Amino acid sequence: MIDSFGALGGRMGRSWALGGLVALACAGAWAGENPLDPYEGFNRPMFAVNEVVDKYAAKPVAQIYDNAVPLPLKAGVGNFFGNAGDLWVGVNSALQGKFSDAGIDLSRLLINSTVGIFGLFDVASELGLEKHDEDFGQTLAVWGVGGGGYLYWPVIGPRNVRDTFGWGVDFYADPLMRVRPVSVSNSLAGLRFVDIRASLLPSDKVVEEAALDKYAYIRDAYQQRRRNQIFDGRPPRLDD
Amino acid sequence: MKKLFALTAAVFFATVAYAQEAPDVLVQRVTEDVLEIIRKDKDIQNGDTRKVIELVDKKVLPNFNFTHMTALALGKEWRKATPQQQTQLTAEFKTLLVRTYSNALTSYKNQKVVYKPFKMGAAETDVLVRTEVLQPGSKPVQLDYSLEKLDSGWRVYDVVVAGISLVTNYRDQFNQEVRNGGVDGLIASVAAKNRSLEANSAKSEKK
């Protein structure tokens, strides 16, 4: 469900991670039957918890935001967070050896931060500088690190072991989390959370209606989507 | 007489040209046709399920090969199913896909579709046509179609959104159902899902 959010402050992130490790150690004890999902016994209850949190908190807030805020302003918010992420995207492009991509990412940051007024307008895309989709989990994958088992976390949603670690690194590298005072950085994190959740509203209904088993549908979609991201949109064909 | 001959020839060549329409041209034509209709239709924009399914039935479905899609969704178990089971499952799966993804069309708002450059060899019978959906403030969404060449022309057998195949994403769920209740159990599950979606949309129409 939810994609990337460095919401809720660092301390909370750490305690989630610690709780996760403990839970993971327990989950090993009831390893499931599906080889693609060894921690299913841990994941399903976490998924159920998240469904409830989403239904009563995250989704209603996102719906209010989506209805109340006019489209140009929503686009500005999305662009702003996209721009704030472009430096780290560029670092990851470089770490993966894609230096011309990294150059584009950096140019985007410079153009959008200035001509694009603090990133509110994505002028660089209009100029043909395409936005890339990179994060540290993908970098690790390119370096040959395997995914590890699939995990479903409260709040941050689906991530395999590698991407959970990658998410932690992304989180600490996030410039918005270094903004002070903390109240501002928390507000930004909250707004980004709502923005991302709102952008997923249209797909909610599709998943709800399409899935025979929503948990499995989201898990398999996550795996396919990550594979696509790692190969930059051109994954080699799998045998059917 | 000469006129009649010219007319016949024109019709003949037009038909041939249509049958041999290249896969990327087909995707673009159908996409633009459908979007054009949605842009003008307030009922569809307001979420009229019946009307959008009608549109998809008429414009989109003739270009899809649902038997292939269902086989791909099920994987190895497909060959173990009887022809009758295959037909039943294909019908139910088609209903499910059409309903869920037609509904997605009702949330269309000003997105633009960009068609990626496409090249293919003359002998190719299985190709990927790549497009991208652009919307302000969001990352572009990759939307790709796998097409195969049949005697009757090119047919879509897979739709891939942001790398997620809407068809193979069912593989594990389908196999789980087959493990639990055989192919008949799977058919029953998909049918039950369809009935509950039908009931829900009937309920929301009454409101």
| DSSP-assigned states of every residue in B62-125 | GGB-HHHHHHHHHGGGGGGS-HHHHHHHHHHHHHHHHHHHHHHHTT--S-EEEEPP----TT--
Q: Is B35 exposed, middle or buried (0-12, 13-18, 19+ CB in 10 A)?
A: middle
Adjacent-strand bridge partners of B126: B148
Adjacent-strand bridge partners of B164: B161
**Cβ-based neighbours of B101, under 8 Å, separated by 6 or more:** A206, A210, B56, B159, B166
Question: Residue A205: which of B82, B24, B52, B35 has the closest Cα?
Answer: B52
Shortest CA distance from B170: residue in chain A:
A217
Give, to the nearest 10 degrees, the angle between helix B171-206 and helix B49-59: 130
Are A193 and A58 in contact, with CB atoms under 8 Å apart? yes
CB spacing of B173 vs A213 below 8 angstroms: yes
Q: Which pLDDT does position A14 carry in this prediction?
A: 44
CB spacing of A221 vs B139 below 8 angstroms: no
Helices within chain A (DSSP H only): 10-27, 40-53, 59-68, 71-95, 99-114, 123-126, 136-142, 161-173, 182-199, 201-210, 214-230
CB spacing of A220 vs B169 below 8 angstroms: yes
Q: Choose the weakest-confidence range: A79-83, A111-115, B42-46, B125-129.
A: B42-46
pLDDT band at residue A29 using 50, 70 and 90 as cut-offs? very low
Are A36 and A216 in contact, with CB atoms under 8 Å apart? no
Q: Is B22 exposed, middle or buried (0-12, 13-18, 19+ CB in 10 A)?
A: middle
CB spacing of B75 vs A240 below 8 angstroms: yes
CATH code of the domain in which B108 resides: 3.10.450.710
Give B-chain residues touching A217 at CB under 8 angstroms: 169, 173
Side-chain half-sphere exposure of B41, counting CA atoms within 13 A: 21
Q: Is residue A237 part of a domain?
A: no
Q: Which pLDDT does position B24 carry in this prediction?
A: 95
Q: Choose the weakest-confidence range: A60-64, B46-50, B68-72, B175-179.
A: B46-50
Question: Residue B161: which of B178, B146, B176 has the closest Cα?
Answer: B146
Q: Which pLDDT does position B81 carry in this prediction?
A: 96
Q: Is residue A192 part of a domain?
A: yes
**Cβ-based neighbours of A11, under 8 Å, separated by 6 or more:** none
Q: Which pLDDT does position A4 carry in this prediction?
A: 39
Q: Choose the weakest-confidence range: A101-110, A188-197, B43-52, B189-198.
A: B43-52
Please check the confidence at residue A155 and state whether its pLDDT lies above 90: no
How close, in Å, is residue B82 to chain A by CA atoms? 20
CB spacing of B163 vs A224 below 8 angstroms: yes
Are A91 and A138 in contact, with CB atoms under 8 Å apart? no
- Domains of chain A: total: 1
Please check the confidence at residue A31 and state whether its pLDDT lies above 60: no
A183, two tokens: 């109240």
Q: Which pLDDT does position B103 carry in this prediction?
A: 79
Print the domain residue range for B125.
Answer: 2-206
Question: Residue B63: which of B150, B144, B128, B143 has the closest Cα?
Answer: B150
How close, in Å, is residue B153 to chain A by CA atoms? 23
CB spacing of B193 vs A220 below 8 angstroms: no
Print the domain residue range for A221.
Answer: 10-230
Any B CB within 8 A of A133 CB: yes
- Mean pLDDT over B181-207 rounds to 88
Q: Which pLDDT does position B2 carry in this prediction?
A: 65
Q: Which pLDDT does position B91 carry in this prediction?
A: 97
Shortest CA distance from B138: residue in chain A:
A78
pLDDT band at residue A26 using 50, 70 and 90 as cut-offs? very low
- Domains of chain B: total: 1
In this prediction the pTM is 0.85
Preceding amide of A70 cis, omega within 30: no
Q: Among partner residues A72, A205, A212, which is closest to B173 by beta-carbon distance? A: A212
How close, in Å, is residue B142 to chain A by CA atoms? 8
Give B-chain residues touching A122 at CB under 8 angstroms: 137
Q: Which pLDDT does position A6 carry in this prediction?
A: 38
Highest mean pLDDT (candidates A19-23, B8-12, B91-95)? B91-95
Q: Is residue A1 part of a domain?
A: no
Residue type, position A148, single letter: G
Q: Which pLDDT does position A219 carry in this prediction?
A: 96
Q: What is the pLDDT of residues A184-226, one digit of tens each?
A: 999 999 999 999 999 888 888 889 999 999 999 999 999 999 9
How close, in Å, is residue B152 to chain A by CA atoms? 24
Chain centroid, CA A188 distance in Å: 16
Residue type, position B72, single letter: L
Q: Is residue A134 part of a domain?
A: yes
Residue B129 sits at the vertex; the CA angle it makes with B123 and B133, to the nearest 5 degrees, is: 170
